[in-house]
Amino acid sequence: MATMTDVARRAGVSVSTVSYVLTGTRPISEATRERVLAAMAELDYQPNAMARGLASRRSNIVGLLLPLTGRGLGATETAFVTGATEAARQAGYHLMLCSVGTDDSDELQTLATQRLLDGFLVMEVQLTDRRVDLLRKLQVPFVLIGRTEDADGLACVDIDFEQTVDDAVAHLVGLGHRTLAYVNHSEASLASGYGPARRTAAAFEAAVRRHGVEGLMVPSDDTATSGRQAIRRAREQSPELTGVLVMNENAALGILTELRETGLDVPGDVSVVSMVTSEVVADLASPALTAMTSPGAALGAAATRALLKRVGEHDTSTYQELLPCVLEIRGTSAEARKH
């Protein structure tokens, strides 16, 4: 393995000159630059990442804080990770997966103090999140995927839930539906103050009022079975219901099954719009789900860019970027039946 000293000797310059060629920190004449580059090529030189990191106090690695609960990642999260990895790579950075629980402060502190990582991308952000306080105290650059209660002084990238819900409701109302149900996340997450659940709940209420239609919200777990129960409950409470907005994918599929088995046609009798849904899952259903496709990869890329900017420029300003899900009309939404 060739080192910088080898390159310097071969090119007949000092090591510092080689370093300047590599980093561009100081001007180097065209002639010697070429000699150095040639020497590197001949020796198959690759800078040693550890040595570089030690000397420059930069690892060029960012950590992705992702509590791996064991139940796996959904398509949205996966897309996010993919997008982030790709964006990091393009900027010459690497992404390290850090499976640290949301409340495992010790583990996170170790990780952040080791000087192995230049910054953090924080996923699965709670409304009040201990990791945020810790990272802030430690003065480590970080960007949240999601938002805390008070986002002041923080950098966040998140789905624009308000816009997304509003677009979905507008779509259904535009098709003539006058009585809507929103199948949200579970009661538990609503109670614990889970951001997306809270925000969409509020947004749904606002949208419904603004459009002057009836709206009913019911909670559901993220399983097909729970989705079936939810839609049954919704139809009991409000039998004239023709438009359904549903937060999570598995519940959405359960709802389709339940409606079909009740003898109702989708989208003939009832229209269903799924939120924050990936294309893959949408196509699993038959007919394919009309859905608000989550901008997973775009979010990941945006978050990474924001983080790298903070790392590079010691930027520490408040920053917020919200991306809406985009409506993909497929087979489960149609004009409301006239009566």
Partner DNA sequence: ACGCTTCGTCGAAACGCTTCGACAAAAGCT
Partner DNA sequence: AGCTTTTGTCGAAGCGTTTCGACGAAGCGT
Q: How far is the CB of 110 from DNA (least distance, A)?
A: 13
Bridge partners (DSSP) of residue 98 are 65
The rounded distance, in Å, linking the Cα atoms of 71 and 255 is 22
The verdict on 1 binding a second copy (CB under 8 A) reads yes
Question: Which residue reads 């060029």 in tokens?
Answer: 60
Q: Measured between alpha carbons, how far is residue 37 from residues 9, 26, 236, 322 in Å?
A: 13, 16, 75, 43
**DSSP structure string for 165-231:** HHHHHHHHHHTT--EEEEEES-HHHHHTT-HHHHHHHHHHHHHHHHHT-EEEEEE--SSHHHHHHHH
**DSSP structure string for 257-277:** HHHHHTT--TTTT-EEEEEEE
Residue of 37, 75, 206, 264 interacting with a second copy (CB under 8 A): 75
Rounded to a whole number, what is the distance in angstroms from the first to the last CA of the chain?
A: 79
- From the list 109-117, 149-157, 170-178, 312-320, the region that binds a second copy by CB under 8 A is 109-117
Q: How far is the CB of 73 from a second copy (least distance, A)?
A: 5
Residue of 29, 30, 114, 339 interacting with a second copy (CB under 8 A): 114
> Contact, 159 vs 137, CB < 8 A?
no
Q: Measured between alpha carbons, how far is residue 209 from residues 166, 179, 190, 216, 219 in Å?
A: 11, 12, 21, 11, 20
Residues 79-98 touching a second copy, rule: CB under 8 A, are 79, 81-82, 85-86, 89, 94-98
Q: How far is the CB of 314 from DNA (least distance, A)?
A: 13
- Rank residues 1 and 239 by Cβ distance to DNA and give the closer one: 1
Q: How far is the CB of 163 from a second copy (least distance, A)?
A: 24
> Contact, 120 vs 141, CB < 8 A?
yes
The rounded distance, in Å, linking the Cα atoms of 156 and 141 is 12
The verdict on 244 binding a second copy (CB under 8 A) reads no
The verdict on 148 binding a second copy (CB under 8 A) reads no
- From the list 8-16, 27-35, 68-76, 195-203, the region that binds a second copy by CB under 8 A is 68-76
- Rank residues 32 and 238 by Cβ distance to DNA and give the closer one: 32
Q: Which two tokens stand for residue 263?
A: 């003898």
Residue of 46, 317, 318, 320 interacting with a second copy (CB under 8 A): 46
Q: How far is the CB of 51 from a second copy (least distance, A)?
A: 5
Site of interaction with DNA (CB under 7 A): 1, 3-5, 12-20, 22-23, 25-29, 31-33, 45-48, 51-52, 54-56
Site residues (vs a second copy, CB under 8 A):
1, 44, 46-51, 53-54, 57, 59, 61, 64, 68, 70-73, 75, 78-79, 81-82, 85-86, 89, 94-99, 110, 113-116, 223-225, 250, 253-254, 257, 278, 280, 283-284, 286, 297
